Amino acid sequence: MDHKHPRDLHNLWWLALASIIGVLIYLLSPILTPFLLAGIIAYIFNPLVTRMAIWKISRTLGTILVMTLLLSVFTALILIMVPLFEREVSRLIEKVPAYLEAVRNSLGPWLETQFGISLQLDITLLKQTLTQNWQSAGGIVAKLVTLSASGGAAAMGFLLNLVLVPVVLFFLLRDWTQLVGFVDEIIPRHWYKQVNVLAREIDRVLAEFLRGQLSVMLLMSIYYVMGLWLVGLEFALPIGVIAGILVFVPYLGMVIGLILATLVALIQFQGWSGLIPVWIVLGVGQLLENMVVTPWLVGNRIGLHPVVVIFALLAFGQLFGFVGLLLALPASAVLLVWLRYVRKQYLESTLYNSRMKQLLLDIAPSSPPTLDNFVPGCNLELLQTLDNILGGREQERFVYLWGRKGCGKSHLLQAVAEACTQNKLNSAYIKCGISCNINAEFSVISEIDCLTVDDVDHLNASAQIGLFNLYNHIRDEGHALMLVSGSTAPAQLTLRKDLVTRLGWGLVYQVHELSDDEKIRAMKNHAASRGFDLPHDVCDYLLQHGQRDLPSLMVTIDALDLHSLTDQRQISISMLRELLHTAS
């Protein structure tokens, strides 16, 4: 029976659903502002509410406390910043005529001498016009109050959004875990693992970007305002705030701040003596942002290029207006995660490297993992320790191995489990994943003599509890050997603290990856065991263009040997290149 048509139809339904959602977002964009703004704020402050829940404070009370804090901070900022900005604007309007007079006196003679252009500015009329317009406009707060009282549609919409944001924010913060659980339940099970991995990565990127970038903007705004104020620059507040807010586009905040501060300093100080301290403040600020503040609060793993940031702001703003500006950078960060995932899938696909994939499918490893066929490199002490434990010469029951992917952790765990099986002992090897359930797989612990748990980093919350209970049971009653592996040392794992403590109970070894020279020696020895000599330049090429983990290297050597025997050709780089990059 052909299942291709139902599968295509199934994918078509998902594509149609995504298209409908996109169209609805576009059509409803005028009313989405309060919901998106509340969602972004809720995402940023949900960890604080969750932390309060851990402290036995209900989510409802925690939400009320967080919202009260936010409202207090927002009100304080409005009451402090608006009058300050209003005063700065008034000062600027008063000083504009004097600034223009200075420009006319310094620039006018030069223009007339060089180009014959006479610069005529009616400073008195300009000053009178600016003063009258500002007085007629009144203060900023008064203008907003007048607009709200007029009952216009724009004012009503603004007030409605102002009321909706805290209402929506309250329910999102209070019910965040239920909403996330609902979304988790409706994910198709055959997509769950991939979606879960992507969701974790998106959450990491968004957390770094939103929480981190907002903190960077706040700190840099404070720095620029205080720094420019200390060097005596007028209008330090608006220039510093503008430079700090624009730091989310790399270098833009510093460049805009530099231009504005330089213009004001040139007019104010009338010389280089006052300009150099301003430049020092801005230069030090740029260095602090790039080398200290951003790596500390945001990290270096987001990877949004400045051109992408600018394009995202313009594109989303054009499509969705103010909603688009709110959505632009978070959506770009999410899109970046998806593009990384698509790139990874492409590089692992047969379309990119069909011959290598065919080799891995056609040729199986020559023998199962054992301690004898493990290439130790710098891991001789670890290998000897495992051999002593299996031989009964050491009584250690807990061993934790950590190292990078491809270093040989899985090989050692499988080798120990296989050795126990060969000795008529009950052993088990677990490859951890999102759905791994330790309790379900090992309900009768007393029957297990050796338990190996690989990639412990990937355990979900319930599985972590199960492994924690296993450690306690083996310590108190069991006699089993427990061998666990992870990507980092126990103290650096992002797991339950009590489980991290258990992982460090016994011996802890780092499994060191083989150097290139050690891999070359291993490949040459493997080739010699098959009866042929492997040229050194072929080994170098394979390390540079093939998969670098030792099992994949050995599989490729086996395939190279078979290809050489089939075609009756000498092994060379050209043959290896043909094998890796040419589909047959």
Domain residue ranges of the chain, discontinuous segments joined by + = 1-31, 353-364+516-581, 380-510
Helix (H, G, I), strand (E, B) or coil at 430: strand
Q: Would you say how long the chain is, in residues?
A: 584
Residue spans of alpha helices (H) in 175-191: 176-186
Q: How far apart are CA 205 and CA 333, in angstroms?
A: 7
Ramachandran assignment for 139, one of left (phi > 0), alpha (psi -120 to 50 degrees), beta (any other): beta
Rounded-to-integer distance, Cα 116 and Cα 122, Å: 19
pLDDT of residue 65: 93
The pTM (predicted TM-score) of the whole model is: 0.49
Q: What is the pLDDT of residue 153?
A: 55
Superfamily grouping for domain 380-510: P-loop containing nucleotide triphosphate hydrolases (3.40.50.300)
Closest by alpha carbon to 437, among 470, 486, 485? 470
- Residue 417, token pair as written in the block: 């489990």
Q: Tell me if residue 515 falls in helix, strand or coil.
A: coil
Write down the residue that tokens 């632009």 correspond to: 328
**Strand 507-510 versus strand 398-402 pairing type:** parallel
Q: What is the pLDDT along the chain (584 residues), one digit of tens a residue?
A: 444 445 556 567 767 777 887 788 777 766 777 888 888 888 888 888 988 888 888 999 999 999 999 889 888 877 877 776 677 667 666 666 666 666 666 666 666 676 666 656 555 655 566 555 555 544 544 554 454 444 455 556 667 777 888 899 899 999 988 888 888 888 777 777 777 778 887 887 777 777 777 788 888 889 998 998 898 887 788 888 888 888 876 677 788 888 888 878 877 776 677 788 888 998 898 888 878 887 777 655 455 666 776 777 777 777 766 666 666 777 777 777 788 777 777 766 656 555 545 544 454 445 678 888 788 888 889 889 998 888 888 888 899 999 888 788 888 999 999 888 888 888 888 888 644 555 545 444 556 788 899 888 888 877 888 888 888 888 877 678 889 999 899 888 888 888 888 888 889 999 988 888 888 888 888 888 778 888 888 888 888 877 777 777 887 888 888 878 777 788 888 888 777 765 34
C-alpha distances out from residue 56 to 42, 59, 193, 283, 498, Å: 20, 9, 32, 47, 19
Write down the pLDDT at residue 533: 86
Mark out the alpha helices in 28-152 (DSSP H runs): 33-54, 59-115, 123-137, 140-149
Q: What is the model's pLDDT at position 323? A: 60
Name, in order, each residue with C-beta under 8 angstroms of 246's C-beta and a sequence gap of 6 or more.
252, 253, 256, 257
Beta-ladder partners of 400? 484, 508
